Structures are given as C-alpha cells and as structure tokens.
Amino acid sequence: MKTVDKYLFQALDNYPYWLEGTIESLDYALSYNDKNVMALCLYGRIQTEQLQDYEEAKRYFQEALAIDIHAVAVYPYYLDALLLNEDFEEASKLIDFALTIKGSNKVTLLLKKNNLLEQQKGFKKALKLLKEIKLLMTANDNSYEVEETEKRLKAKLELLKPKKKAKSKKDGDKKKKKN
C-alpha cells in the first residue's frame, strides 16, 4: 500500500467523527500526491457538509473531475453541493453527463435528479422518475429513500390540489326540504 493511500484511508475512517484528524490525514495525503481525486473529493465533502461553503466545495470537486472525469464516486457529492447551492442548471447538466459514465451508480444519480425536480416543484415529473428508479434498483439499498420520497411527493401534490368547498349545514337542510 502506498503512503498516500494510508493517509487517505485514515481520513476516510476519521470522517465525519474526527474532523481535525480527517484534515490532518488529507493534508498528508495531498502532500504525497496533490492530484489524489478521493482526497480532493473528501475536501469537497467537508466544505459542503461541515462548512456549507458550496463555492469552495465546487472548486474541489471540479479539480477532482479535471484529474479524472471517470471518478464515479465524486459525482453524487458534487451534485449535493450544487443542489444545496441552488445551481440547478449546472446540476441538471452534470446529472445528464454522469449518467453516461460507465460504472456510475444510476440509481443514486437519478435520486439526485429527483431531488432537483422536487426543488424546482416538478412533483409529477419526480413521481414519474421514481417509477424508473424502482425499475433500475437491483438491491434494497435505496428502497427506504425511494418510499419516503414517494410519500413526500404525493403529500406535496395533495397540498397543491384545489380544496373543495365544504357544504354548509344550511345547504343540506335546503335539499331535504325540496325532497
């Protein structure tokens, strides 16, 4: 095992429970190889998940993908940063591209697309996409997320339905008198 891998594994093992140790290990990993895609990706995750600095996170993810565009592990985390930063057009393009990469987790990417549609209030499209996701699923890893997403989307559609006017008691009494 290379030294860079040792430090990368330490960083991954430490994250997110010991951030100081994570950063220290990442710094060592990058000092051995400043083009380590997974180290850059983890830095991007820290910027997104811990510091909410989405622009800096995007920079790390872009750097990682510039080194290896086929680094399929980077795309879901990059999409999280884009969605949180409300960079919807960029997220849509990245999803479309990532879906073309051999070995990418199509279910995870389509769940990100579903999240994008939901944020853009495309609830019907999102529900339709969930059907496609269910057909692609080959394991139960995402089944809970899919079920909960479906419930949430249906609840949102229900909120958007026009409310029927409740019949007043007087209207009911009038009908009885006519009969």
pLDDT at 112: 98
Q: What is the mean pLDDT of the chain?
A: 92
Which pTM was predicted? 0.87
The phi and psi torsions of 133 (rounded to 5 degrees) equal -60, -45
User: Which residue intervals of the chain are DSSP H helices?
Assistant: 3-14, 19-32, 37-45, 54-67, 74-84, 88-98, 106-119, 123-136, 143-160, 169-178
C-alpha distance from residue 26 to each of 14, 51, 123 (Å): 10, 16, 40
Residue 122 has pLDDT above 80, yes or no: yes
Q: Summarize the confidence of residues 92-105 as an average pLDDT.
A: 97
- Give tens-digit pLDDT for 28-58: 999 999 999 999 999 999 999 999 999 999 9
Share of residues in the chain with pLDDT > 90 (%): 84
Tell me the domains of the chain and their CATH numbers: 1-104 (1.25.40.10), 106-162 (no CATH)
C-alpha distance from residue 46 to each of 83, 95, 121 (Å): 16, 21, 28
